[in-house]
Amino acid sequence: MQNVIPRRKKTIREIDVRGKRVLVRADFNVPLDEDGAIAEDTRIRASLPTIRYLCERDARVILCSHLGRPQGRVVERLRLTLVANRLSALLGWPVVALRDCVGPEVESAVAEMSGGDIVLLENLRFHPEEKKDEPAFAEKLASLAEIYVNDAFGASHRVHASVVGVPEYLPAVAGLLLEREIGTFTRILEDPERPFAAVIGGAKVSDKLEVLENIISRVNTLIIGGGMAATFLASQGYGTGASHVETDRLDAVREISAKATKRGVRLLLPRDVVVAERLETGIPTRVVPATEIPDGRVIADIGPGAADDFSHELASSRTVVWNGPMGVFEIPEFAEGTRRVAAVLANLRGTTVIGGGSTTDAVERFGLADQMTHVSTGGGAALTMLSGKPLPGVMALDDAGTP
């Protein structure tokens, strides 16, 4: 089995930041509502410990992040002023939003900073050089600071200039959020308290195949839900109605099932499912055995019997990692399976790790996020770690013990 992190990386606690100019790559890629306001600020709140740590040591804090997908051009509704305002309110301290992330005006603003000051650079992805990881752009960002801190777990699977380019020019360490995220996933993958269960859901097997291939050698129980259950059911010869089946993944799914049997891993598929003609609110639903899905119907959620089975199995686990909902939880008629899994994990006497993305959205929607051991801020990065692969943004940081 591959180690997620070959060597421990230096953290913000292991470097002298007092009075220094510190460039912090944060993840402020928050959801916006139809009016362009911040709909949910979990990622902003998650950055506060690192920012406060630096301010308490009179560092001059230069924050940078992306927001949305502006495709390398300025998009007014994706400016980071609204993030700066929210940060300022949360910190009780001014956060100055700059109108660009590189250039003479930015350099002048940074030169005028005093200890404890905070500025937020403009959306990095207004510049196409960010996503292209162009060295000249990374060097311009690095020239603003004396130290680089990566606190953007949610962006650390990206090979972008602000993630992997800047560390080539500055001492580079992990922030407190990144340290916690990496530590949590490393512990559950390498030394979990057992029984260890993984709950994997979502729409497509192809999105989670590498996770399944890695996790099957580590867990005691593997629970499959969501639309991807259709491909597992089809691999066993069952009809799946109008549910999407990834026919090119059937052999891979059979191999996962065979590995589970060989390793003594308990593999649970839903015994019943909620089906509907379309995945829309107000559509009539039925609960049917998973092996008897009617023609013209699609899997929208796990059924109550499956929710009972999954809850019973999870209740005896001591470590659970969950990535991917059990159904289309955004629609009330299809939310019960996901809610049931979230509820049992919220009351589990053990370690519960929520693997980012839509799973994080779900536990927050049900008001259960605070009852989980760890709710990840990064969907793609969490998938990369659960797949057993190193994160480029972490690998770019200085190894612990280096001068």
Side-chain half-sphere CA neighbours of 40 within 13 A: 10
From the candidates 204, 266, 318, 389, give the one annotated as an active-site residue: 204
Say whether 180 is catalytic: no
Q: Give the active site residue among 357, 378, 388, 393.
A: 357
Q: How far is CA 68 from CA 22, 185, 368, in A?
A: 24, 26, 26
Query: Is residue 204 flagged as an active site residue?
Result: yes
For tokens 């913000």, the residue is 12
Task: Give the helix ranges, DSSP H, for 134-287.
Answer: 135-142, 176-190, 205-215, 229-235, 250-263
> Per the residue annotation, which of 68, 183, 305, 380 is the catalytic one?
380
For 143-249, where are the alpha helices, taking DSSP H only? 176-190, 205-215, 229-235
**d(Cα 367, Cα 16) in Å, to the nearest integer?**
39
Is 357 part of the annotated catalytic residue set?
yes
Distances (CA, A) of 299 to 53, 296, 363: 47, 10, 21
Rounded to an integer, what distance in angstroms lies between the CA atom of residue 377 and that of residue 381? 9
Strand ranges of the sheet holding 272-276, from the earlier edge strand across to the other edge: 285-289, 272-276, 298-302
| 43 catalytic residue (yes or no) | yes
Paired with 288 in beta bridges are 273
Q: How many CB atoms lie within 10 A of CB 104?
A: 8
Closest to 327 in 3D by CA, of 230, 233, 225: 225
Say which of 43, 79, 125, 140 is annotated catalytic.
43
Longest dimension (CA), the chain: 69
Catalytic residue positions? 43, 204, 357, 380
